[in-house]
């Protein structure tokens, strides 16, 4: 069996690539010599990414099966799928849960991962060394006050990812989940519906991770030799030890 590191060109599909961890991952994988197919809803931002050598951009809304089907038709090869698209809506207590917000979180975080994974699994298997790398969250491991729908959705992502790993045992596809803690991206601005002051308070007085820190972890996972499966990875800032325990100066 070959123990050769994965240094050859592979085609990586990255979802949610218009900003944050997705964008940083697309850029890092392209810089490492991989061919990247970047998908996202915000096509104006994709245009900017498309100017980067090695990156092809295709519109993608992971919550829309028609969009996923069109996107998949444009994917001629897929060695790596980075399921990054996702996000949180609000911090309501369960008692005050907004059903529509929960449905939206399940649609993008859980069903989005399912739609892309299901659509690209044949190509991943055909590649002979496929890899699914799903961006989970510390919220996938640890429930926290106000986490409600996001915790439930990310726990579901973790279950789906683990089941996939188990079901693909014996197939040439690796399955990994990378769980970031506090990463300063548009995540919190989106969670607080554009309230930049509320978003800034999430990272106040501490040094959060950057999107590129996670992109570097994804790239490392992708570049392990074919026989090495990094099942899961929790990546936290030094200033964070659990979901709601953060050192702030």
Could you tell me the smallest distance in angstroms from the CB atom of residue 130 to ligand 8X3?
A: 25
SS (H, E, C) 13-77: EEECCCCHHHHHHHHHHHHCCCEEEEEECCHHHHHHHHCCCCEEEEECCCCCHHHHHHHHHHCCC
Q: Identify which range of 43-51, 57-65, 103-111, 132-140 contacts ligand 8X3 by CB under 6 A.
A: 132-140
Regarding 176 and contact with ligand 8X3 (CB under 6 A), the answer is no
Is residue 152 involved in binding ligand 8X3 (CB under 6 A)? no
Closer of 62 and 138 to ligand 8X3 (Cβ): 138
Distance in angstroms (rounded) separating the CA atoms of residues 74 and 228: 29
Distance CA 236, CA 131 (A): 23
**Number of residues lying near ligand 8X3 (CB under 6 A):** 7
User: Of 27, 30, 105, 243, which lies in the binding site for ligand 8X3, with binding defined by CB under 6 A?
Assistant: 243
Per-residue contact string for residues 89-128; x = within reach of ligand 8X3 by CB under 6 A: ----------------------------------------
Residue number with CB closer to ligand 8X3 (78 or 236): 236
d(CA 22, CA 38): 8
- The residue ranges of DSSP E strands in 149-216, in sequence order, are 173-180
The site map against ligand 8X3 for 181-220 (x = CB under 6 A) is: xx----x---------------------------------
> So which residues are the catalytic ones?
150
Distance, in Å, from the CA atom of 95 to the CA atom of 219, rounded to the nearest integer, reads 40
Pairing mode of beta strands 240-242, 245-246: antiparallel
- Tell me if 55 sits within 8 A of 39, measured CB to CB: no
Enumerate residues 6+ apart whose C-beta is below 8 A from 245: none
Measured from the CB atom, the residue of 6 and 141 that comes closer to ligand 8X3 is 141
91 vs 103 by CB, closer to ligand 8X3: 91
Nearest CA-CA partner of 240 in 158, 183, 155:
183
Identify the helix (H) or strand (E) that includes residue 167.
helix 148-167
- Contacting residue, 27, 139, 158, 175, with ligand 8X3 by CB under 6 A: 139
- Residue 154 Cβ, how far from ligand 8X3 at the closest point, in Å? 7
Minimum distance, C-beta of residue 242 to ligand 8X3, in the bound complex (Å): 9
Is 137 a residue that touches ligand 8X3 (CB under 6 A)? yes
How many angstroms separate the CA atoms of 57 and 47, rounded? Answer: 7
Q: Does 138 bind ligand 8X3 (CB under 6 A)?
A: yes
């Amino acid at each position: 069996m070959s123990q050769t590191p994965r240094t050859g060109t592979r085609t990586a599909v990255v979802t949610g690539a218009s900003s944050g961890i997705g964008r940083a991952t697309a850029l890092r994988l392209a810089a490492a010599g991989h061919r990247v197919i970047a998908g996202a809803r915000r096509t104006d931002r994709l245009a900017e990414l498309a100017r980067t050598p090695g990156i092809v951009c295709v519109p993608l809304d992971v919550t829309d099966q028609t969009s996923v089907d069109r996107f998949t038709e444009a994917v001629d090869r897929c060695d790596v799928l980075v399921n990054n698209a996702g996000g949180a809506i609000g911090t309501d207590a369960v008692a005050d849960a907004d059903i529509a917000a929960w449905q939206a979180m399940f649609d993008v975080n859980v069903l989005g991962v399912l739609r892309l994974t299901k659509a690209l699994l044949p190509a991943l298997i055909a590649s002979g060394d496929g890899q699914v790398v799903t961006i989970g969250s510390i919220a996938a491991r640890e429930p926290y006050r106000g986490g409600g729908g996001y915790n439930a959705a990310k726990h579901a992502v973790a279950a789906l990812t683990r089941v996939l790993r188990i079901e693909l045992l014996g197939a040439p596809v690796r399955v990994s989940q990378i769980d970031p803690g506090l990463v300063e991206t548009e995540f919190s601005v989106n969670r607080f519906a554009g309230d930049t002051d509320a978003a800034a308070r999430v990272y106040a007085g501490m040094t959060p991770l950057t999107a590129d820190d996670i992109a570097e972890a994804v790239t490392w996972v992708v570049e392990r030799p074919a026989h090495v499966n990094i099942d899961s990875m929790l990546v936290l800032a030094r200033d964070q030890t659990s979901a709601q325990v953060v050192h702030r100066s």
